[in-house]
Amino acid sequence: MSRIDASRRMFLRNSAVASLAGAGAPFAMNLATMSAAHAQTTSGYKALVCVFLGGGNDHANMMLATDTPSWDGYTRARNVAPAPITLPLPGQAGGVLEIVPNTLQTGRTFALHPSMGALKTLFDAGRAAVVANVGPLVEPLTRAQWNSRSARTPPQLFSHNDQTSIWQAYRPEGARIGWGGRMGDLFAATNGRPPFTLISASGTAVFLAGETTMQFQTNGSGGGPQIGNLTGGLFGSTSAANPLQAVITNDQRANLFEREHAKIVARSIDTSQAMRTATASVTIEAPPANNNLASQLQSVARIIAARTTLGMQRQVFYVSMGGFDTHDNQTGNHATLMQRLSDAIAYFDRVMTALGAANDVTLFTASEFGRTLTSNGDGTDHGWGAHHIVAGGAVAGKNIYGQFPLVGVDNEDNVGQGRLLPKISVDQYAGTLARWFGLTDQQVQTIFPNIVNFPTRNLGFMNGVV
């Protein structure tokens, strides 16, 4: 039997055991972590933080081209009754915020949403960049090939669930292994506490599902989910908690499944306690008020602050923010979302700087798709390609990577209704992050199999990636 086959059998066995936990399965799965099948050599600490924008972010109002031809195309598509969704030009009241990338694109000028002042400051300081027109692709694709259906394309385009899964795991809904999880498989053995390699502050995510490494779910304090009444009182008794723990962790059972389940629960309790102990004395700046994404990033920061105590070399984190399915009331809703996203990214950058980890942690955005350039009267509909943000001290910031698309509804850069035809694949975007994280070219090709179809595998937005 090959090592890979053995790893898959182990994964299936642990999944089956944890499924017996019923409502307690997420807790039990936190610690059902096996040794990684491949060992890496690491130098220093690095972490990736995926910020998933659930619902499909309207990239066209987040990152805008403001040169005259682009702005004319933008207003023709969006300044329609009954509720125009256009934004004012720079310099006008409430206007978009002009940014000037280090590498100019001939004849083009650019701006960010007017609510993203904090992100503009990071961009201008060289600590954030924009990667233009990213989306799932199997191979490079032209509009003519799309129209003639003469090239391979991802399945189930424009579907929320399927495209979320394809972004995170390269398979439609039902996928079980994500690319963040597969990176965790490679690096778990380098960590003093392998169960803390993959950490979600936003529930279970297929992005963090590994073949041999399970994701640990953290709560706001940095610890994991807990079984109720193991501390304090139980049915009015302060002496019942220890017997309860003894019962649920007793592995001297006749039934094999009961024994294995008890062992998993015991490891879960011990490891969650280890996390709480490691983060107990950590003090982190309070997040902006009414900003759940920033609160999740505070939880991530608490764990990063304990990286030395826990003996961590590589970690992958997942946080998320919903509400981006803006079919209606786009102007008001999207402005609020952009404000919270911008403030949360800036907050996280401040905290990482204070922890001395700014150059070691890279934050990046993802979303199942962009949205149509055309308005539906009060909002936008499901699209394909979209612009994304990368931030951190290791980012080659103050730049836009990739050729910014033409703005309009009938050109080579869209497939109808202003749905962007991606020019950068998720494989290229993720592969660039993975190389910075420490993967070899061969490992990148294994995790991102479609990357071999693209001539450019390093997009250049990470310092030190060759």
The model's pLDDT over 285-305, given as tens digits with 9 standing for 90+, comes to 999 999 999 999 999 999 999
Predicted pLDDT at 43: 78
In which region does residue 174 sit, left (phi positive, over 0), alpha (psi from -120 to 50) or beta (all else)? left
Instruction: Please report which confidence band the pLDDT of residue 22 belongs to, taking 50, 70 and 90 as the band edges.
Output: very low
Instruction: Please report which confidence band the pLDDT of residue 248 belongs to, taking 50, 70 and 90 as the band edges.
Output: low
Instruction: Please report which confidence band the pLDDT of residue 256 belongs to, taking 50, 70 and 90 as the band edges.
Output: confident
Q: Which of 277-286, 344-353, 389-398 has the lowest mean pLDDT?
A: 277-286
At residue 303, φ and ψ (nearest 5 deg) are -70, -40
Q: Would the pLDDT of 140 be above 90?
A: yes
In 161-223, DSSP assigns E strands to 198-200, 216-217
Percent of the chain with pLDDT over 90: 75
Q: Which H or E run contains 52?
A: strand 46-53
Rounded average pLDDT over 3-13: 40
Predicted pLDDT at 113: 98
CA 144 and chain centroid, separation: 32
> What does R_g of the chain's alpha carbons equal in angstroms?
23
Integer Cα distance of 278 and 255 in angstroms: 35
The tokens of 290 are what?
């009414």
Instruction: Please report which confidence band the pLDDT of residue 26 belongs to, taking 50, 70 and 90 as the band edges.
Output: very low
Query: What is the identity of the amino acid at 215?
Result: Q
Predicted pLDDT at 230: 59
Query: What is the identity of the amino acid at 7?
Result: S
Q: Would the pLDDT of 29 be above 60?
A: no
Spatial contact of 213 and 194, defined as CB atoms under 8 Å apart = yes
Rounded average pLDDT over 233-251: 59
Predicted pLDDT at 145: 98
Spatial contact of 401 and 131, defined as CB atoms under 8 Å apart = yes
Predicted confidence (pLDDT) per residue in 349-362, tens digit: 999 999 999 999 99
DSSP letter (8 states) at residue 48: E
CATH 3.40.30 fits 3-226+288-453, yes or no: no
Count CB-CB contacts under 10 A for residue 5: 9
Predicted pLDDT at 67: 97
User: CA triplet 168, 393, 189: central angle to 5 degrees?
Assistant: 55
Task: Pick the more confident residue, 369 or 218.
Answer: 369
Integer Cα distance of 28 and 34 in angstroms: 13
Specify the residue for token string 């996390």. 275
Predicted confidence (pLDDT) per residue in 43-88, tens digit: 799 999 999 999 999 999 999 999 999 999 999 999 998 999 999 9
Instruction: Please report which confidence band the pLDDT of residue 10 belongs to, taking 50, 70 and 90 as the band edges.
Output: very low
Nearest CA to 340 among 380, 298, 295? 295
Predicted pLDDT at 114: 98
In which region does residue 235 sit, left (phi positive, over 0), alpha (psi from -120 to 50) or beta (all else)? left
Burial class for 57, CB neighbours closer than 10 Å (0-12, 13-18, 19+): buried
pLDDT, mean over the chain:
87
Instruction: Please report which confidence band the pLDDT of residue 143 belongs to, taking 50, 70 and 90 as the band edges.
Output: very high
Rounded average pLDDT over 98-111: 97
DSSP letter (8 states) at residue 88: P
Q: Would the pLDDT of 103 be above 50?
A: yes
What is the greatest pairwise CA distance in the chain?
76
Predicted pLDDT at 221: 57
Integer Cα distance of 11 and 6 in angstroms: 9
Domain segments of the chain: what residues? 3-226+288-453
Predicted confidence (pLDDT) per residue in 171-228, tens digit: 999 999 999 999 999 999 999 999 999 999 999 999 999 999 999 998 765 555 565 5
Predicted pLDDT at 30: 40
Q: Would the pLDDT of 374 be above 70?
A: yes
Task: Pick the more confident residue, 97 or 27.
Answer: 97
Query: What is the identity of the amino acid at 20?
Result: L
Task: Pick the more confident residue, 16 or 116.
Answer: 116
Q: Would the pLDDT of 420 be above 90?
A: yes
Residue 448 has, within 13 A of its CA and on its CB side, a CA count of 28
Predicted pLDDT at 270: 67
pTM: 0.87
Predicted pLDDT at 135: 98
Rounded average pLDDT over 438-465: 96
Predicted pLDDT at 3: 38
Rounded average pLDDT over 103-126: 97
Instruction: Please report which confidence band the pLDDT of residue 273 belongs to, taking 50, 70 and 90 as the band edges.
Output: confident
Q: Which of 45-54, 212-221, 258-267, 383-392 has the lowest mean pLDDT?
A: 258-267
Q: Which H or E run contains 390?
A: strand 386-391
